Structure 1
């Protein structure tokens, strides 16, 4: 199996699903945590800014009273150095700068950004700058009219914390993906790939003709159901294979029986007739008078016509053209008329239900051949004088009853002695009917024989 096929296989798809799910969860987690953490850190930073401003205001009271601007400036610088987020510290009195941490002077646009009214304990303003969001906190100095301390803080710590948290989350996501992929690889190999590989190998063995393969899966999931369905399919294929072999043997046996029957008819009828013709030719050759010659010639012509009719009848038996063109009823009726023309017997024929529909070629051929064989047996072996052929067809079955008044035989004795398959074409008749899913029963005594045939029309093959 190539690398591409392995990647696009089940394992690759499962690992791909794990990757997609991990990536989606990581993105959602990072977005959620960043939003939540940023809000919490921003609130914490603002509280810290207010606390720093109040601390500076309380510590600067004495400095303001003594007008010690240097100490005030030093306090502002120390506050910035001790708090990395603090961007500036300003001391204002009536909008006049007393001290600040700006090297280039106090920005004029910053003064009106966060006005403090007398009724407020502090004022917080957010200003968007190039470095980020600036939070400006103004706190009044107690006891000092108009004196305000303003502290500005940037969100550098928030960005640093968010960046660190994001890196940690990405690392955790990568570890989760690796662990999930490894777990998915093991699970798919043990639970999915291995049973599927066993099933695939079994399918290949069955495709090569091994119908003894059975798959054993210990799990109780869809794969076990698939393995069970495969085992059932293989059993049915094996059964169908055995049935096919049996049917093939039956067909071969039926063909051999048909050949033996044709050989018997050629030997018994055509052969004897040809021998009679040879005798008649000898009589013609030995004729001494013209009257004897004419007499033997007429007899020879009669024998020749009888032989020709026998050959035509044999050809009719081998390939009944009306069966394919006209259907079962017309073919049997025409065969009875031709067959009863040469013998001193009477055949009654009755057929119901065959006018509105045609049967399958297999059923029509089987019934026709059995009727043909039964009439041949009744004429040659039973020496019957009266025969009745009744055929009925409905939506479910075809029923055929053939009854004669000739010499009977002991059916059970014939079966017990093992000659059922070798005499009277009975084996051929039984196999023909069984090939189309029907049953053939024979009842006979000292006088008369009855053959019952029943074929279901919904038969689709089997034992």
Structure 2
């Protein structure tokens, strides 16, 4: 029902308005019935009074057989009373003695109302073309001289009832309007604390814990508002403590990642400088030994050892680059990704489409370059290990206030919810690491994947200062 979806204010107003109209309608109906009954009784009493007066006057005329004056008496009685539709006198043997009709007398009236007891009056309602007629019969001289019939029309009664009903309707409508205004005023006062609680609840839902409900009364709703304010204060303190703990945790995590990057940089430098130089010296010594070797290569095997050292030196160099590419510090994110993707394409034989859209040519902040580089690095590593993809697309869109990164592959895909909610694994830790790096710089990280439909990673990082 539509009324159930309306506000509490409208519901209360509708209910009170319905009750008010029901009471007003019931009161009018009941009052009209009482008035109709009262008017009918008064009309019957008046009709009996007229009939008795006519019977008293007609008795003398009947005794002296003066039917002309009797006829005039009947006509004058009908003409002098507006609600008397007709009057006639019936003799003791049932013969018509006089009547007030101008033309012919309706013969059916003689038998329409015959008193069961001749010495008592009787009232009968007759349905005619003019409406309801109350036929009142009164005996003349206890019925020994006949009866007098008076027909009272219902029109005057209905006119009075209708006029009175219109007045009642007018006053009732005026009272209903006043009641509606009073109902709306009281309902507004009643629902104001509820609306205040809704306002504060909406503000809290939006994250504003400083709002408080304004309490104007000491009733149950006022006590509810005070309790709600107390709950909001406690909630605000709890949220503040959680925010402090979260900020501390984020700050600690940022320090851990910074320390991790510094350690990567140190290890990469040691691998490149110390270990690389040592292996280079070893390789040069082996070359000298190979040049002075008198036996053949199969016997000396020095050249093979030199090649092993050379390969090891290459792998150490690659590992140092992966740990901390110097090009990232020197030339920035885009150049570092181009170099990494070119090496990745050659190493894993996977077709990668790298596309960059830049609205500005200035270099990205170093605090953002490193997380984005690590996210791409981790994503491409996972693709090589697990996805079985043949084609990969990396798209970077840089605007004035945001950097967007999309990594998409056509691999086997996976169920995101199952993987993220399942047991810990290297792949899951890698996804968590990518997401945490994005969140630490104020960005968002989203994964979309389905079995057999590949995987898409969306990263969005604001470039404005935080």
Match of 2:124 in 1: 125
Cα distance 1:115–1:30, how it changes in 2: closer, same or farther (>3 A)? same
Give yes or no for contact 1:91–1:149 (8 Å, CA) kept in 2: yes
2: distance between equivalents of 1:102 and 1:288?
158
Distance apart, 1:98 and its partner CA: 2.9
Query: Structure 2 regions of 5+ residues with no counterpart?
Result: 1-5, 324-376, 387-417, 431-466
Partner of 2:281: 279
Q: Which residue of structure 1 lines up, in the alignment, with residue 438 of structure 2? A: none
Residue equivalent to 1:85: 83
Number of residue-to-residue matches in the alignment: 331
| Aligned 8 A contact 2:78 2:87 in 1 | yes
CA distance in 2, matches of 1:266, 1:129: 119
Tell me the distance in 2 between the aligned counterparts of 1:159 and 1:111.
Answer: 27
Distance 1:237-1:80 versus aligned 2 partners, 3 A rule: farther
In structure 1, the partner of 2:164 is 165
**CA–CA distance in structure 2, aligned partners of residues 62 and 118 of structure 1:** 23
* Counterparts of 2:151 and 2:248, CA distance in 1: 100
Residue pairs, 1:351-430, within 5 angstroms: 360=421, 363-364=424-425
- Note closer, same or farther for the CA distance 1:288–1:54 as it changes in structure 2 (3 Å cut): closer
Distance 2:201 2:292 in 1: 87
Q: 1:199 to 1:29 in 2, by over 3 A?
A: same
Q: 1:43 to 1:196 in 2, by over 3 A?
A: same
**Once the 2 structures are TM-superposed, how far is the Cα of residue 141 of structure 1 from its aligned partner?**
1.0
Summarize deviations over 1:45-104 as a string: whole Å, max 9, x none. Answer: 334433432332234322322334455345435544564332222122133333332233
User: Which residue does the alignment assign to 1:34?
Assistant: 32
CA distance in 2, matches of 1:51, 1:195: 66
Are 1:176 and 2:175 counterparts? yes
Q: Which runs of 5+ in 1 are unaligned?
A: 1-7, 326-356, 370-463
Which residue of 2 is the match for residue 113 of structure 1? Answer: 112
Q: Measure the CA separation in 1 of the matches of 2:122 and 2:63.
A: 23
Contact 1:127–1:134 at 8 Å: present in 2 too?
A: yes
Q: Output the TM-score relative to the length of structure 1.
A: 0.55
Q: Distance in 2 between matches of 1:368 and 1:9?
A: 49
The 1-side partners of 2:204 and 2:17 are apart by 36
Match in the other structure for 2:191 = 192
Match of 2:259 in 1: 257
In 1, distance between residues paired with 2:203 and 2:157?
A: 63
3-state SS of 1:212 partner = coil
Matches within 5 A, 1:151-162: 151-162=150-161
Q: In structure 2, how many angstroms separate the alpha carbons of the residues matched to 1:247 and 1:49?
A: 102
Q: Identify the residue that residue 348 of structure 2 maps to in structure 1.
A: none
Structure 1 Cα separation of the partners of residues 187 and 304 of structure 2: 95
TM-score (norm 2): 0.55
SS at match of 2:220: coil
Q: Deviations over 1:182-224 (max 9, x none)?
A: 11332343333575378448736964x6443333445634995
- For 1:106 and 1:70, locate their aligned partners in 2 and report how far apart those are by CA, in whole Å: 16
* Counterpart in the other structure of 1:214: 212
Query: Aligned residue for 1:228?
Result: 228
* Whole-angstrom distance in 2 between the partners of 1:95 and 1:32: 42
- Structure 1 distance, partners of 2:110, 2:422, is 109
Distance in 2, Cα, partners of 1:95 & 1:111: 8
Instruction: Write the mapping of 1:294-373 to structure 2, written as runs, cut at 5 A.
Output: 301=307, 303-304=309-310, 307=313, 360=421, 363-364=424-425
Shift of 1:179: 1.4
Following superposition, the deviation at residue 159 of structure 1 comes to 0.9
Gap change, CA 1:69 and 1:222, over 3 Å in 2: farther
